[in-house]
Each structure stands twice: as structure tokens, then as C-alpha cells.
Structure 1
Amino acid sequence: MLRHEFQPGRLIAGTALVAAAVIYGGDAGGAWETPWFVMIPLVVGGLCLAGAVGAVTGQVRRRGRPAPEGADADGHARTTGG
């Protein structure tokens, strides 16, 4: 049984930041030479992609959830006219 819901946006953000850390660590350790401007698009692009995936995931999960009792098809609460 899962203890929490899978969140792909956080997975993408973590992967991008770990990749940046590995690249920076290899450069600092002398394994290779990485220009400084490589990290900016990697980190910013990874975080933007993670945000977009998180937003899409939230919309998909909201659409897939059944409406609460006493709500119409759009999920709005019904009121008795007055």
C-alpha cells in the first residue's frame, strides 16, 4: 500500500537538481570542465518543467475526483432557490 500519492512534478524537480549537483561536483572534483552558464538553464528549466507537470497533475486529479454529495456536475453546491 502506498503511503503517499505519486507526485511527478517533485520527481522532475529532484532529478534536475541532482543532475546539477552531479555536474557541479564533477567540475569541482576536476573530472571535467563545465562552463558556469550550463547550470542556469538546467536548474531553471527543470524547475519550470516541474511546475508545469505539477499543474497538469493537479488538474487531472481534480477532474478525476467524483463530485461531493449535493453538488451538480461542475462540482458547485446546490442551493434551494429563495
Structure 2
Amino acid sequence: MRRHPMEPGKLVAGLVVLGVAAVYGLDAAGERHVRSLVPLIVLVCGLCAAGVVSTLTYAARRKRARSTDGSAP
């Protein structure tokens, strides 16, 4: 299997979605009572955070690529 680059934004998005799914699962099982708006707000904020992480990762990789390309003779 070929190696693929680490994508932290997708990791953050996946963890947020799993967390929201767990909260909905606990609510459905009767373990916790959660207002329906709270997980949706957490989901939106988490996906925005994933977008920020993806943007920062892209910028860091682009900067690293430019610095290694410019130093070659």
C-alpha cells in the first residue's frame, strides 16, 4: 500500500463527527439528555475548525516546498 500524506483537517473533521454521533447515540439510549441544537452547533464549529486546520496545513506545506525549491543550486 502506498503511503499517503497526513491530513490533520480530515482527522479533526472525523473526530468531530464521531463525537456528535456519540452524543446523539447517548441521547437515543436515554443515558444523557441533550438539546437538539447543541450538537449541531458543535458540528458546525468543529467543521470550521477543521477548515482552519486544513488551511494552515496547506500553507505550511506550500511554504516548506517553496523553501526547499529555492535553496537548490
Give the structure 2 partner of residue 63 of structure 1.
63
Aligned residue in 2 for 1:33: 33
Name the residue aligned to 2:22.
Answer: 22
Q: Please, which runs of 5 or more residues in structure 1 have no aligned partner? A: 68-72, 74-82
Give structure 1 regions of 4+ aligned residues with deviation exceeding 2 angstroms: none
Q: TM-score scaled to structure 2, two decimals?
A: 0.85
The letter of the residue matching 1:55 is T
What is the CA deviation profile of residues 34-71 of structure 1, one whole-angstrom value per residue up to 9, with x for unaligned ones? 1111112110001000001000100100010133xxxx
Q: TM-score, normalised by structure 1?
A: 0.76
- RCO comparison, higher one (Cα < 8 Å, 6+): 2
Distance 2:25 2:40 in 1: 15
Question: Partners in 2 of 1:48 and 1:7 — Cα distance?
Answer: 15
Give the aligned residue type for 2:55.
A
Report the structure number with the largest CA radius of gyration.
1
- Identical-residue share of aligned pairs (%): 36
Distance in 2 separating the partners of 1:46 and 1:14: 10
Taking the TM superposition and a 5 Å limit, the aligned residue runs for 1:4-19 are 4-19=4-19
| Aligned 1:38-57 pairs, distance under 5 A | 38-57=38-57
Segments of 5+ residues of structure 2 without an aligned counterpart are none
The one-letter code matched in structure 2 to 1:25 is G
2-structure distance, mates of 1:9, 1:18 = 14
CA RMSD of superposed structures (Å): 1.3
